[in-house]
Each structure stands twice: as C-alpha cells, then as structure tokens.
Amino acid sequence: MSIAEKRRPALGRGMAALLSNAPPPPSAAAAPAPAIPGRTLLTLPVEAIERNPEQPRKRFEDAKLEELAASIRQHGIVEPILVRKDGGRYRILAGERRWRAAQRAGLKEVPAVLREATDREAFELALVENLQRADLNAIEEAEAYEVLQADHGLTQEAIATRVGKERSTVANALRLLKLPEDVRESVRGGQLDMGHARALLGLEDGEAIRKVAQRAIREGLSVRATEALVRSLSKKPPKAGPSDAPADSPAIRDLAHRLQRRLGARCRVVPKSAVAGKLEVEYTSLDELDGILAKIGA
C-alpha cells in the first residue's frame, strides 16, 4: 500500500499488517487462497455485509464514489474489504467506500478478509484506515479521538501511539469539539477547514465564533485573514477603575488653573485614580524654574 508506506511506522502497522498477502480479485483467482493465521479470505455477497455504525467517516463524496465505481467495473476490487463476523452478517472494519462503490458498480460479490476484533479494535482499525487515506475532515477526526477517549478509556498519549501522531496533535484536534455545533457542521461540510477552525478557538464567546465563521464563509476569508479578525476581536480595551477621574473634568481643570495662577507657569494635572496621579509644571528657562521652586518653598 503506497499510501501507508508514506506514513510513519505506527500507521503503517495498522492496515498493511492486516491486508498484506491479500488475494487478487475473485475473477483473477485460479484457486482458493491459502489460510493465513488470524485471517480468513472470503468472497461475500454484498448484501451480507453491513457498515460499521461507529465508522468515523460520516460523509462520502458522490462524485468520488462514481469514479471508484467506474474503476471497479473495469478492474474489480484490488484490495479486499476487511470485515468481522456479527451474528449472521459481516460488519465492515475497513473499506466501506469500496463496498459502497461496488454496489454502484453492480457487483453481487466482493473479496473480503475476515478477522476477529473487539469493539475497540474495530473502531481503531476504521480510524487508522481513514487517517492513512486522509479521508476524515478535522471534526470527524476529533470526534473519533473523543470516542477512543470517552468510550474506550484511552488517554491522549495512548491514542497518539495507536494512530501514529503526536500527542499535541490529538490534543489540538480534541479542542475543536469546543466549537458550537453549527460551526463544526461547517467544517464537516468543507465550508471551513482545519485552519479556520483553530483560529476560531481564539474567541471565547459562542456567538462571536458564529459571526466570524459566517463572515469567513460569506467573504471567503483565508485562514490568515480569519486569524487577524479573531485577534482584532479578542483584544480587550483597558478597563477604567470605577473611581478613575476623567482628565478633562471641571474639577481637574479648575485645579490646574489655580496652580497656574499660584506658580505663574503652565500646569497640568493627570489623575491616575481617585487617590493618585501626577502634576506637570512647564518651565522655559532655569530662571523660571528657580522662580517656581521659590514659590513652593523648595
């Protein structure tokens, strides 16, 4: 699998180890494939197979399914679907897109690899396959990590090890689930990408996040432009203390005028709070300064 080989070893172990030595399409098989420990190679009716309800991937692009169906009509299914037994039926572990396309192509049977797997292993296999193929959007990936964390008790470190990513990558993905649901839906639908979603996390208020998201979609803002907009909105103006005195209040102006008359020089009173501030006295020569100091008894 060329895509898997480009990934780091932790990802490569996921699907390559499961699907290595997979059989050719049924039409090309001259004899039953030999048994492989831990796996059974089958040809299954498409109606005997059902999707995994916990499949991390929720959206399948119609145009790409049609392209794959056309390829399957011409070449068959090159890579078997990975399934596990579930009662009298078979549940997909990996390969739902191929299964869907096979039905569009009119196939009645598909090659499959049968293996045993716990619920957690089944979910991990589906997640790893989608990550290898870059099939998940940012929210689907985050939701998959959340399932591993909440339903299967894995830590972020354990999740990172299993999917071959850095722990910080997993942590940052999980943060996206703090976004309002309608904004997450925009990411799922492709109107916003991962960069936009991460930029929106710079805002704390849900309504502000929605407004920026809507503007980014409406105006086609780039990630950089969205980041700049978030920065401008997240800057908080300095808060004035309840007892701060305005610098141009009548009382302050009157005080400055009385000081000017008393000292014979331009004066400015700059209050910092109700009990603190500074007094500025201007002078234009040393002689004028001496006169001011004499008047205040210095």
**Dihedral angle computed from the Cα positions of residues 135, 139, 140 and 142, in that order, rounded to the nearest 10 degrees:** 110
- The helix or strand, by DSSP H or E, that contains position 41, with its residue range, turns out to be strand 40-45
Active-site residue, selected from the candidate residues 61, 96, 280, 282: 96
Structure-token pair, residue 36: 């492989």
Q: Is 96 a catalytic residue?
A: yes
Nearest to 233 by CA among 272, 201, 281, 187: 201
- The answer to whether 90 and 80 have CB atoms below 8 angstroms apart is no
Q: CB atoms < 10 A from the CB of 126, how many?
A: 23
Is 125 in contact with 94 (CB distance < 8 Å)? yes
Among the residues of 165-279, which ranges form H helices?
167-175, 181-188, 194-200, 206-219, 223-234, 250-263
Residues carrying an active site annotation:
96
